[in-house]
Structure 1
Amino acid sequence: MKDHSSDETVIERLQGALISEAMPKSARQYAQHLLNRLSQPVRVSVLGARRSGKSELVNMFLGRRLMPKDSNLPTTEFVWGEHETMTVTAADGSIKEFDTIDLESLADQDVAFLKLELPAEILKRINLLEVVTNGALSEFESAVDWAVRRTDIALWCSQDFGESEQTIWSRVPDSLKDHAFLVLTKADVLSAKKVLSKHVADLESIVAEEFHSLFAVATLQAVRAHEGDRVNEAKFHASGGAALASEVLRHAERGRRADFDSAHMFLMRYRANSAETVRPHSKPRLVEDSDERAAEAASTPAPEPAPEPAPVPETPVPDMPSAPKVENVALFTEATRFLKRRGDSLCEAANSLGEGKAKPLIEKCVDAVEHLVDLFSQDESGCEASDAFIDELAEASDMMVLMQVEDGDGPAADAVTLLLQLRRDMEMQMAA
């Protein structure tokens, strides 16, 4: 892509585009949608039944034991802040702010929603939302419905993902399931009971249909790995936590880059750059911000505390299957270079779309995908990453066919964006 503007500049250009009177209403709505997504970290929701290990998983991501186990705390949002602050929304809708995090002080209060700001490095890249209910089925369903509308990546915590959980999960839209992970928490307990491998095997077909992938994590071990000045990398890896954290951040980065690719294409299509428009003086309010979350969560009761379980000896968690490693580096390098050359020229063409230009541009994108299919189909190295990428190319080819049928400037720009995403996917696989 020839536009090497920084991420901050892209956001500023979108802000400028929104105040341009020449922009059509439909384009303005899409620009606002892009700006909302790019102006905040990727939103990761931690879901699951009561006592499923959600709080410990959150502690693992934060790198500290902040959230107490089996507490009566409500749904809680974790965001980046240079200093620790706590915003408490009571059941009556009143809101109080505190300049320190004191969770024990909330023990006897009727709190509906909690927002914590703290300087945890991971919160610069993702926001966390731990969704809590009192265990009633109807409330559980409502909480999941509420959360998924505010979620980019979902983590469903469980030990066996039984029928009742599957029923609730079926309410989640398919678009989110592609960005969802099933997390078997308390994996050390399951391993000690000699049922972990069986659970993983039994869930294989379900995960293939309902989730991106499955991870088994000994959450207590993962949290203990962060105790002290340095992370115990060996302990963190053995817990399964390192693999999950790495994949979530990788997934978040991939989605973020896709959003920026879409923003670049949008700005090229509407010629809305910072040199042609006036930049706004204030940051726009996000459509789905914490105030809205707090107001809607005010009716969500908190769970009752549960008895502390007996300690279980630490048990190494078996490594879960990960994305196949790129062994045929030469093939991926050649394909990436091809897409870079082709992508630059196609971006130039997309910048000057007009009458009669969309169809030839889509055809060039189709030819590019077909070239990649031929290239990867000739690979006989046995590289699993190559075989997996052929499936992704097949999906891209099907999408290109639909874009040819639709025709027009919009589908043409989408076709170019799809090629850019394929290139991004290959680069991330090579870097993994």
Structure 2
Amino acid sequence: MRPALTGPEATSAAVPPLPIVERLETTLALDHVPQHYAQWGRGLLHRLRKPVQLVVIGLPGSGKSAVIDMLLGRTVIGSSPAAGLTEVCFGPVERAELHLAANDPAQTLCQDGLLAQIVPRMGSDFSHSAPLRQRQELPDPRLRGLNIAEITLSGSAKEQSDILDQAVQYGDILLWCSRAFAPEEQALWAAVPDTAKDHAFLVLSMADQLIMRGTLPPLMEALSPLAAEEFLGLYPLAAIQGLNAQQGRTRDTSGLDRELWHKSGGKRLYDDLMQHVDRGRTADLDLAEALVQQFGDPGEAAPPVPPASAQTQSTPDAAAPSQDDLLAAAAQKIKERAAAFLPKDGQSDGDLEQVLQGALDCVRQLGQDLSGLDDRHPKVRAAQEAAQDGEEVLMLCQIEQDAEAATDAITLLLQLKRELTPA
């Protein structure tokens, strides 16, 4: 048995620091927090208290279990019969729970071990060949901040659409696994809200078979424009090879065959997915901090954070600030502006028009500030592109002119702040 996993690159979904969660809860209990921001804060508190929910979804036989096994670095689900819902979450020991029928304890099995080991043996114990629902607990530290669910789109087109609607409500991040993302799949996906598409990856989960047939390059060419519009990216993946890269013989001291890990497509998907998970968690923590700073008890002690701008103040003997220093100063400016847009004590939800216009002016000023920096610097170039994209989003927010648009505007500013902050 392998020890508790740390992931191919020791990357994990961070569990939010408890102090900020407690401080946010204390702040929301105060009677002077405006109603809209209290409601927003309660939703934020709920997200911070639960793991990020990753949903791996697709038609039957689309390689979903293999993708999950690859992400976990071991054969957890394997080739066991697909359940309607398979959940993988943190637990102190390896333990599987299988439900063969709804609300029937006699058709439920709880047993130590992995689904890949248990499910193939259950035929003699149960009257069905596949469970209705199953749950796997693992002592994997990454799962403290990340739950994984596999959902199969089965049945008629209407049934598949209903299942997809539930999956979208259930998940924070979606991984759509497919052999070729055929037109019928595209039709299903077209009905998904844009807010969910902003957190979705398209995975061609059997890329090795496509390569052998010579069909991967034309398929990638055909799907790339659609994927760029509808997903965070298109990821050709040889999931079995990605799993073998973490279990094979040709490995370095970290237990990873890096060349195979890269060639399988596993590295790109894993890194981008975990980065998206961590960015989302960091964005929520930034928003929580902004709410606490604006509405929290003034007598409550907060950890001192030196302003980034102080790092760029020059003296006659100081060297010229680096590009990272300049970006950090811009990030601090964005953070201060975002906090300023929150309503003051005694106000309701603030002047929506002022918030939206102020956010737009802030991003435009950021674009001007960044235009004077060296765009050969990768971080500068990325920041310039983020500011341009942010301006376009804020212009759309101005059209809506409602409280949700104002919240989105403040969220966008804090996301820009995070983009500018040196890693």
User: Shorter-chain TM-score category?
Assistant: 0.7 to 0.9
Greater alpha carbon shift after TM alignment, 336-345 vs 190-199: 336-345
- RMSD (CA atoms): 3.5
With CA pairs under 8 Å and 6+ residues apart, which has the higher RCO, 1 or 2? 1
Corresponding residue for residue 367 of structure 2: 373
Pairing partner for 1:98 from 100, 110, 114 = 110
In the alignment, is residue 119 of structure 1 matched against residue 131 of structure 2? no
The residue type paired with residue 217 of structure 1 is L
Q: Cα 1:72–1:106, aligned 2, differ >3 Å: closer, same or farther?
A: farther
Is the CA contact 1:16–1:273 (under 8 Å) kept in the aligned structure 2? no
Structure 2 contact 334–417 (Cα < 8 Å) conserved? no
Shift of 1:399: 4.8
Aligned to 1:243: 268
Q: Is structure 2 residue 272 aligned with structure 1 residue 231?
A: no
Q: For the structure 1 residues 404 and 236, does the alpha-carbon distance in structure 2 shift closer, same or farther, using more than 3 Å as the test?
A: closer
Q: Is 1:15 aligned to residue 15 of structure 2?
A: no
2:287 pairs with 1:334: no
Secondary structure at the counterpart of residue 330 of structure 2: helix
Percent of residue pairs bearing the same amino acid type = 28
SS of residue paired to 1:131: strand
Match of 1:145 among 119, 144, 165: 165
Note if 1:82 corresponds to 2:107: no
- Distance in 2 of aligned mates of 1:167 and 1:183: 17
* 2:197 equivalent to 1:203: no
Given the alignment of the two structures, is residue 268 of structure 1 paired with residue 288 of structure 2, yes or no?
no
In the alignment, what sits opposite 1:169? 189
User: Which amino acid in structure 1 is aligned with residue 287 of structure 2?
Assistant: S
Q: Deviations over 1:145-192 (max 9, x none)?
A: 111101111111112111011011112111111111111111111111
Provide the rounded CA distance (Å) in 2 between the counterparts of 1:146 and 1:201. Answer: 31
Aligned pair 1:49/2:59, yes or no? yes
CA, structure 1 residues 192+245, in 2 after alignment: closer, same or farther (shift >3 Å)?
same
What's the secondary structure of 2:278's corresponding residue? Answer: helix
Distance in 1 of aligned mates of 2:92 and 2:75: 19
- Aligned in 2, Cα 1:178/1:83: closer, same or farther, shift over 3 Å? same
**Equivalent residue for 1:184?**
204
Counterpart position of 1:61:
71
1:208 alignment partner AA = A
Q: What amino acid sits opposite 1:201 in the alignment?
A: E
User: Unpaired runs of 5+ in structure 2?
Assistant: 1-15, 249-253, 302-320
Post-superposition shift, 1:217?
0.8
Contact 2:161 2:188 in 1 (8 A): yes
2: CA distance between counterparts of 1:374 and 1:141? 45
Does the aligned pair in 2 maintain the 1:154–1:179 contact within 8 Å? yes
Q: Distance in 1 between matches of 2:341 and 2:215?
A: 57
Whether the 8 Å contact between 1:80 and 1:117 is mirrored in structure 2 is yes
Residue 150 of structure 2 is aligned with which of 127, 130, 140? 130
Which one of 201, 213, 229 corresponds to residue 233 of structure 2? 213
Hey, what's the Cα distance between the residues in 2 that align with 1:60 and 1:167? 28
How far the C-alpha of 1:124 sits from its partner, in A, is 2.7
Within 5 Å, give how 1:350-389 maps onto structure 2: 350=342, 352=344, 365-378=359-372, 381=375, 386=380, 389=383
| Structure 2 equivalent of residue 418 of structure 1 | 412
Structure 1, unpaired ranges of 5+: 1-5, 277-328
1:267·1:273 contact (CA, 8 Å) conserved in 2?
no
Secondary structure, aligned partner of 2:201: strand
In structure 2, distance between residues paired with 1:48 and 1:409: 35
Q: Return the TM-score normalized by structure 1.
A: 0.74
Alignment correspondent of 1:256: 281
Show the counterpart of 2:43: 33
Are the structure 2 counterparts of residues 399 and 240 from structure 1 closer, same or farther at C-alpha, using a change threshold of 3 Å? closer
CA distance in 1, matches of 2:326, 2:407: 24
1:49–1:135 contact (8 Å) kept in structure 2: no
Q: Please report how far the alpha carbon of residue 344 of structure 1 lies from its aligned counterpart in structure 2 after TM superposition.
A: 4.1
Partner of residue 11, structure 2: none
1:211-232 deviations in Å (ceiling 9; x for gaps): 1111111111011112168222
Equivalent residue letter for 1:124: R
Preserved contact between residue 33 and residue 345 of structure 2 (Cα < 8 Å): no
Distance in 2, matches of 1:346 and 1:133, equals 41
> Which deviates further from its counterpart, 351-360 or 75-84?
351-360
Tell me: CA distance 1:362–1:133, structure 2 relative to 1, closer, same or farther (3 Å).
closer
Equivalent residue number for residue 310 of structure 2? none
Deviates more, 1:210-219 or 1:112-121: 112-121
SS of residue matched to 2:152 = coil
Task: Report how far residue 44 of structure 1 moved.
Answer: 0.9
Secondary structure at 1:129 match in 2: strand
- Structure 1 residue 143: deviation in Å? 1.6
Of 96-105 and 256-265, deviating more is 96-105
Q: How high is the TM-score relative to the length of structure 2?
A: 0.76
C-alpha separation in 2, matches of 1:405 and 1:169: 26
